[in-house]
Amino acid sequence: MADYKHVKVPKEGEKIRIDDHMKLHVPDRPILPFIEGDGTGPDIWKASQHLFDETVRKVYGGKRKIEWMEVYAGEKSLSVYGPGEWLPDETLDAFKEYLVGIKGPLTTPVGKGIRSLNVALRQILDLYVCLRPVRWFTGVPSPVKNPSKVDMVIFRENTEDIYAGIEYAAGSPEAQKILDFIAKEFPKDFSKIRFGTEKASQEWQKKLESIGMSARPAPVQVGVGIKPISYLGSERLVHSALSYCIQHKRKSLTLVHKGNIMKYTEGSFRDWGFQVAKEMFGAVEIDGGPWCQIPAGKPGAGIVIKDSIADITLQQVLTRPEEFDVIATPNLNGDYLSDALAAQVGGIGIAPGGNINYLTGHAIFEATHGTAPKYANQDKVNPGSVVLSGVMMLNHLGWNEAADAIERALEKTIGAKTVTYDFARLMEGAKEVKCFEFAKLVAGAI
């Protein structure tokens, strides 16, 4: 066990373990690390933890109990560990040692400063799957006519694509080195960088001056990013998604990509996805391919593996949501899709998420929304995202009875129009309640 300075390990409870067959072994009193989060995080966590504890107590009659262990990241971490300690080593060690945990929303600086803490956790722990189930709960206000048709699960790749974080600021020596390399080694491709030379920049500036713009310097200012997508990264995501389809008896897997333009990154993701389906699951091509289907006699028989271009997918999940079931996609597409779909079923305030490495057993479930600092300490906001992320966590632990009980009670409470302010303002005849009160009502409905 790691030697922790500020993390207090519960005296009771045991670690979750994973065996050589990638099966989790969960004790009746597992120790689970949690980060309460910034902004509204403390309010949400207080309500959510109460609901989790009450549910487990009621469902299992005291035979099971979660032993919570607080770890730190974000603004609270600065007060505990000191300046600059946004993500202490102790926090990473705790998640590594205890495998499964949960977190509230964390501050994400924009433009400069520390990188996203959420992304850092995913990268350092190699949580390669961002799992985002999206479904509608009866009574939740929605901007679409038939939100009940939305029932999808997104497998978003979590470690590659633009989230690998390989990018360099415009005008920096690093960016210029890359531009110089491309110009030397791949001159034909370099010509596609519209303003990659001083000559091109100055020519455009002269055109602007010819129509009245004042003279100004026109240096080369090109930000450069690298978008890595690998076979192994794609393989493990698609394999996880298809395994999920089989386990949960889903009907199809759609590979969402922009391979018509980015042929050797996102196009390769699509091709590799079909390769995984055929070589690892025995899928056979339909009408000459590339779409394929797992045939009779094999696990997952009948599951169709298909593909869709990212931009048209964003339209079709709105106009024809029933045609989509499980989706596997590179990181950026998954970011857009998961939030767009969340809007159809009530918004990210009630959208759950999990970050998982199925091989090592590590998983962090999390709120998918921001910190909303203007509502901090008001006991006001909807705890639904963390609550439903906890439902995902309970299912991940195999505590399905507790997970199902929360979902049923949540739907019953929302159906009774007893909701937090975000839903109350959109529901006729609703009764607005505080964050913690809402959690108590859900717990009372179990």
Q: Which residues are the active-site residues?
A: 163, 258, 311, 335
Q: How far apart are CA 187 and CA 410, in angstroms?
A: 59
**pLDDT tens, N- to C-terminus, the chain (446 residues):** 678 999 999 999 999 999 988 899 999 999 999 999 999 999 999 999 999 999 999 999 999 999 999 999 999 999 999 988 899 999 999 999 999 999 999 986 554 455 678 888 888 899 999 999 999 999 899 999 999 999 999 999 999 998 888 999 999 999 999 999 999 999 999 999 999 999 999 999 999 999 999 999 999 999 999 999 999 999 999 999 999 999 999 999 999 999 999 999 999 999 999 999 999 999 999 999 999 999 999 999 999 999 999 999 999 999 999 999 999 999 999 999 999 999 999 988 899 999 999 999 999 999 999 899 999 999 999 999 999 999 999 999 999 999 999 999 999 999 999 999 999 999 999 999 999 999 999 999 99
Residue 376, both tokens: 């901090």
Q: How far apart are CA 282 and CA 293, in angstroms?
A: 8
Alpha-carbon dihedral angle through residues 79, 80, 81, 87, given to the nearest 10 degrees: -90
What global pTM score does this model have? 0.94
CA 150 to chain centre: 18
- 172 contact partners, CB below 8 Å, separation of at least 6: none
Q: How far apart are the first and last CA of the chain?
A: 37
